[in-house]
Chains A and B, each alone.
Chain A
Amino acid sequence: MNALAYAWRSLVRQPARAVLGVLGVAAVGALLFDMLLLSEGLVLSMRDLLDRTGYDIRVTAGDPGRDAGPLIDEAAAVAAAVSAQPSVRSAITVRLADARLAGASSAVRPRRAFLQGIGGEGGRPWTRRRGRDPMGTLEVVLNDEGVRALGVEIGSEVTVSVSSCSGNEEAPPPVTFRVVGVVTFPFDSPDDITAGLTAAGLADACGTDDHGVAHAVMVASRGDAARAAADISTLRPDLRVLTTDEALGAFQEQGFSYFRQISTVLTTVTVSFALLLIAVLLTVSVNQRLGEIAALRALGFSRRRVVADVLCESALTVGIGGGLSLPLGALLAVWLDSILKRMPEIPTELHFFVYHSDALLVHVSLLAATALLAALYPMATVARLPIAATLRNEVVS
């Protein structure tokens, strides 16, 4: 019988303690797995959302900070000049505004909404689900929440009263738009109403004639975002150019780095906890079987073999527990994610726990190291066991 089979029999012989040990490792392993998913989850999820817009560079007039940031004058001309760069595939302008939207029915109260006015020929930064994109000045697309809350459908009319629009401090008169499509915006929060318009449509809603201004120019490179960003910076050194990678770097440095820190702390605590407990379980288990191990040595089992038995027992406990920890961790991640996503202003599609192969690799490596380190002391005890004295003590006791 090899060491693994013998270790298996040792575990099966004590089912209660073996099951509890495995369950303990599974619970700790699940938490460890989740902390590893959390460490990179937000950044991966944010990258996914940014990629969904179809644009990998953002050009602004300054740091957007907590609001939309300053307007770029002649943004349409900037987008046209940027599009002409050989490293750039397409560019669009994006202007933002706050508004109140009302449907045709007076029974439904007006709701606060975010407006995105898009100019240029590139793809729209949303995912169309029904209908078509706005093409005329007085056409609008809405997200699901907008359609539901305002009680409108494709073909219905909505009245847009812009409440805050950079470039015009006066409240403009309401403008009526026709809904032509239902879309999903990548950064929508659960209760957000967001509407997409043409740049000209938003300028009309803002009560200004200037269709060319925007808060940002979004640029799709031909594959090399860094080169395209350098070309744009050379073209317009007065503007701030940010690739998706740079935006993610800034995102990591800001508020949500808290989750990365907390994940590091909890990963360390969890691994230490697992190491300590498995080491104690194995040590107590080995101490209870010293007589048996001494007898095996007396029968001719080598020192290396009994040490291998202890190591295999540790590996089996951690291995089975670690295997169980993956589905358990996945379920736990769904629960923890649902708790964190209740935070205000978190986009519906943003997730805190995201699977990535590196997390699995680190998880397996940490558990393997834990199994080995936890077995070190009991292995040393077994290796140093004096056969005759142990057997004599066993008989006397």
Chain B
Amino acid sequence: MLVSRQLAESERLRVGDVVQLAPDKNGSEPRSFRIAGIYEPTPDPSRLGDAALEVRLHLPDLLSLTRDPLTPEGTEHVESINIALMDPSDARQFARDVAARMPGVMARPSADAGGNAERFVILERFHQAIAAVTITAATVFLLALTIMLVEERRETVGVLRLIGVPVRRVFMQVLVEGVVIAGFGWLFGLGLALASEGLINRFFQWRYDTALVFARITPGVAATCLMIAVPLGVVATSAASWALLRRGSLRLARR
């Protein structure tokens, strides 16, 4: 038989060990099995928190272990049958054919079997909501900071205006600065996220003893961050600068 990694670690089992399995908790009528291998169970998000203490047997071994003495051999039942089609794209039609020809048997493509996906779609929405609040708070702070920074450069801007640099030129300069700073901010944030991705995954994989991946920085995620960070930075810088540039040159230069 095969033993899951979690069970092997929990019971300190090794390949080649001989263990006894019994069909009930009293341990009556045990049978000996040799451990042929240790496997990593397929990660299942819907079983997060449940230790995968499992073994895998050949079906005839399992049936002979659990068969009721009164049940004739070959008449046992199984919960499900996995079918590999020659052409996987026929899965939906095949499932319909089985349902039509064998009433009472439910067949469905394995792609539809992830019934618990809804739970994770909702978790994703929850994380998006938290991200929205965080971005709102960050935007407010960013606006406050840019107002202060622009105010700090009030006299410089005043002098530039006095020596003849047009408002549009100064504004463009501020805008480009905003884009550059937002771009660097995005790069720094991306680097921080990539560094913390491994930490988050390692922590939760250790915490739940699973191979599931909890955080993944994909190109799509990076692009979304870029599309939020740069426009926000530019808008905040522009809004703060525009209020300053509307003032007269002499007032800006405090003369």
Query: Do A and B form a real pair?
Result: yes
Q: Is A254 in contact with B49, judged by CB distance below 8 angstroms?
A: yes
Residue B141 CB within 8 A of the other chain = yes
Residue B126 CB within 8 A of the other chain = yes
Q: Is A340 in contact with B50, judged by CB distance below 8 angstroms?
A: no
Is chain A's binding surface mostly helix, strand, loop or mixed? helix
Task: Encode contact with A along B202-213: 1 for CB under 8 Å, 0 otherwise.
Answer: 011001100000
Q: Is B148 in contact with A339, judged by CB distance below 8 angstroms?
A: no
Q: Is A20 in contact with B140, judged by CB distance below 8 angstroms?
A: yes
Q: Is A257 in contact with B141, judged by CB distance below 8 angstroms?
A: no
Report B-chain residues with C-beta under 8 Å of the C-beta of A281: 141, 144-145, 148
Q: Is B140 in contact with A30, judged by CB distance below 8 angstroms?
A: no
Residue B25 CB within 8 A of the other chain = yes
Report A-chain residues with C-beta under 8 Å of the C-beta of B152: 284, 287-288
Interface residues on B, range: 20 to 34
Instruction: Enumerate A248-283 residues with CB–CB distance to B below 8 Å.
Output: 253-258, 261, 265-266, 270, 273, 277, 280-281
Q: Is B119 in contact with A24, judged by CB distance below 8 angstroms?
A: no
The CA of A257 and the CA of B125, in the complex, are separated in Å by 19
Q: Is A27 in contact with B126, judged by CB distance below 8 angstroms?
A: no
Residue B21 CB within 8 A of the other chain = no
- Total chain A interface residues with beta-carbon distance under 8 A: 37
Residue B223 CB within 8 A of the other chain = no
Q: Is B144 in contact with A17, judged by CB distance below 8 angstroms?
A: yes
Q: Most chain-A Cβ atoms within 10 A of its Cβ — which of B144, B147, B151?
A: B144
- Considering only CB atoms, which chain B residue lies closest to A35 in the complex? B130
With A254-B49, A344-B118 known to touch, is A24 a contact of B144 (CB < 8 Å)? yes
Rounded to whole Å, the gap between the CB of B147 and the closest CB of chain A is 5
Residue A311 CB within 8 A of the other chain = no
Residue B129 CB within 8 A of the other chain = yes
Q: Is A266 in contact with B119, judged by CB distance below 8 angstroms?
A: no
Rounded to whole Å, the gap between the CB of B70 and the closest CB of chain A is 13
Report A-chain residues with C-beta under 8 Å of the C-beta of B129: 335-336, 339
The CA of A31 and the CA of B130, in the complex, are separated in Å by 8
Specify which of A30, A31, A273, A339 is in contact with B126 (CB 8 Å cutoff): A339
Report A-chain residues with C-beta under 8 Å of the C-beta of B122: 339-340, 342-343
Rounded to whole Å, the gap between the CB of B243 and the closest CB of chain A is 8
- Considering only CB atoms, which chain A residue lies closest to B243 in the complex? A16
Report B-chain residues with C-beta under 8 Å of the C-beta of A273: 134, 137-138
Specify which of A20, A23, A255, A280 is in contact with B147 (CB 8 Å cutoff): A20
Task: Encode contact with B along A1-30: 1 for CB under 8 Å, 0 otherwise.
Answer: 000000000000000110011011001101
The CA of A336 and the CA of B122, in the complex, are separated in Å by 11
Residue A285 CB within 8 A of the other chain = yes
Residue A332 CB within 8 A of the other chain = yes
Q: Most chain-A Cβ atoms within 10 A of its Cβ — which of B119, B148, B200?
A: B148
Report B-chain residues with C-beta under 8 Å of the C-beta of A16: 144, 147
Q: Is A254 in contact with B50, judged by CB distance below 8 angstroms?
A: yes
Report B-chain residues with C-beta under 8 Å of the C-beta of A347: none
Rounded to whole Å, the gap between the CB of A173 and the closest CB of chain B is 19
Residue B136 CB within 8 A of the other chain = yes
Residue B18 CB within 8 A of the other chain = no
Q: Is B125 in contact with A339, judged by CB distance below 8 angstroms?
A: yes
The CA of A255 and the CA of B120, in the complex, are separated in Å by 13
- Considering only CB atoms, which chain A residue lies closest to B45 in the complex? A255
With A281-B145, A343-B119 known to touch, is A288 a contact of B151 (CB < 8 Å)? yes
The CA of A287 and the CA of B151, in the complex, are separated in Å by 12
Residue A62 CB within 8 A of the other chain = yes
Report B-chain residues with C-beta under 8 Å of the C-beta of A254: 49-50
With A335-B129, A336-B126, A339-B122 known to touch, is A20 a contact of B144 (CB < 8 Å)? yes
Instruction: Enumerate B98-122 residues with CB–CB distance to A below 8 Å.
Output: 116, 118-119, 122
The CA of A31 and the CA of B135, in the complex, are separated in Å by 11
Q: List 9 A-B contacts (CB under 8 A).
A: A20-B144, A31-B130, A261-B203, A280-B145, A281-B145, A335-B129, A339-B122, A342-B122, A344-B119
Please name the 3 residue pairs, one residue from A and one from B, whose CB atoms are nearest each other, closest first: A27-B137, A20-B144, A255-B49
Q: A-side interface residues toward B, CB under 8 Å?
A: 16-17, 20-21, 23-24, 27-28, 30-31, 62, 253-258, 261, 265-266, 270, 273, 277, 280-281, 284-285, 287-288, 332, 335-336, 339-340, 342-344
A285-B148, A343-B118 provided; 10 other pairs, C-beta below 8 A? A24-B140, A27-B137, A30-B133, A273-B134, A273-B137, A281-B144, A335-B129, A339-B125, A339-B126, A342-B125
